[in-house]
Amino acid sequence: MASIVPGTNVPPVSFPGIASGIDYNSIITKLTSMTLAPNAQLNAQITTLNSANTELIKINSLLASVQSSLEGISDASLFSTYAAVSGNTNAAIATGIAGKTATPGTYVVQSTKVATSTQILSSGSVGHSIRDVVTAGPYAGQASDAIPLASSYAAVTPSNGASGQGKITIDGVTVNYDVTSQSLTTILNNIQTAVRAGADASFTIGYQGATDTIAISGSQAITIGSAGDQGNLVQVLKLDQAQIDNTGPTFNVTGTSGVGGLSQTAPLNNLNGANLITPVTAGTFTINGVTLNVDPTQDNLASVLARINASTAGVIASFDTASGRITLTNKGTGPQSVVVGKAGDGSNFLSAVGLTNASGATSTVGTQAKVVVQGPSGAVQTYYSNANAVTTAIPGISLNLVSDTSTPFTVNVSQDTSELINAINTFTSAYNGAITEINQASMAPVVTAVGKNGLAASASQSLGGGVLFNTSDVDSIKNQLTNLVSGFLGTDRGYNSLSQIGLTLSSSFAQLSTANNGATDSSGNGSNPVQTTTLQGTDGTLQALDVAKLQAALAANPNAVQQIFGGPTGLAYKVGGYLTTVTGAPTLIAHGVVGEIPKISVLQGFENSNNDHITSLQQQVKQITDSANAQANLLRSQFTATEGQLAVYQSLQSQLAGFFKNG
Answer yes or no: is pLDDT of 445 > 90: no
Mind listing the pLDDT tens digit for each residue in 511-535?
766 665 545 454 444 455 667 777 7
Q: How far is residue 322's CA from residue 262's CA, in Å, rounded to a whole number?
A: 11
Q: How far is residue 567's CA from residue 419's CA, in Å, rounded to a whole number?
A: 18
Answer yes or no: is pLDDT of 9 > 80: no
| Residue 463 binned pLDDT confidence (cut-offs 50, 70, 90) | low
Strand order in the sheet with 244-245: 204-208, 213-218, 251-254, 244-245
| Residue 2 binned pLDDT confidence (cut-offs 50, 70, 90) | very low
Of 358, 322, 323, which is closest to residue 340 (Cα–Cα)?
358
Mind listing the pLDDT tens digit for each residue in 349-373?
999 999 999 999 999 999 999 999 9
Mind listing the pLDDT tens digit for each residue in 139-173?
999 999 999 999 999 999 999 988 789 999 999 99
Which has the higher per-residue pLDDT, 270 or 519? 270
Mind listing the pLDDT tens digit for each residue in 42-55?
999 999 999 999 99
| Residue 6 binned pLDDT confidence (cut-offs 50, 70, 90) | low
Give yes or no for a contact between 225 and 168, defined as CB atoms under 8 angstroms apart. Answer: yes
pLDDT at 337: 94
Q: What is the DSSP letter of 515?
A: -
Model's pTM, two decimal places? 0.62
pLDDT at 16: 62
Cβ neighbours, 10 Å, residue 329: 19
Q: Which residues of 359-398 are buried (b: 16+ CB within 10 A; e: fewer)?
A: bebeeeebbbbbbbbbbeeeeeeebebbebbbbebbebbb
Cβ neighbours, 10 Å, residue 625: 15
Q: How far is residue 567's CA from residue 574's CA, in Å, rounded to a whole number?
A: 10
Answer yes or no: is pLDDT of 346 > 80: yes
- CA 173 to chain CA mean position, Å: 59
Answer yes or no: is pLDDT of 121 > 90: yes
Which has the higher per-residue pLDDT, 521 or 245? 245
pLDDT at 458: 47
**340 phi and psi angles, rounded to 5 deg:** -115, 130
Tell me what the pLDDT averaged over the chain comes to.
89
Mind listing the pLDDT tens digit for each residue in 464-480?
678 888 777 788 999 99
pLDDT at 619: 95
> C-alpha distances in angstroms, 599 versus 68, 446, 583, 584, 604?
21, 38, 11, 8, 10
Mind listing the pLDDT tens digit for each residue in 68-88?
999 999 998 888 889 999 999
| Rounded mean pLDDT, 424-431 | 97
**Percentage of the chain surpassing pLDDT 90?**
68
pLDDT at 652: 82
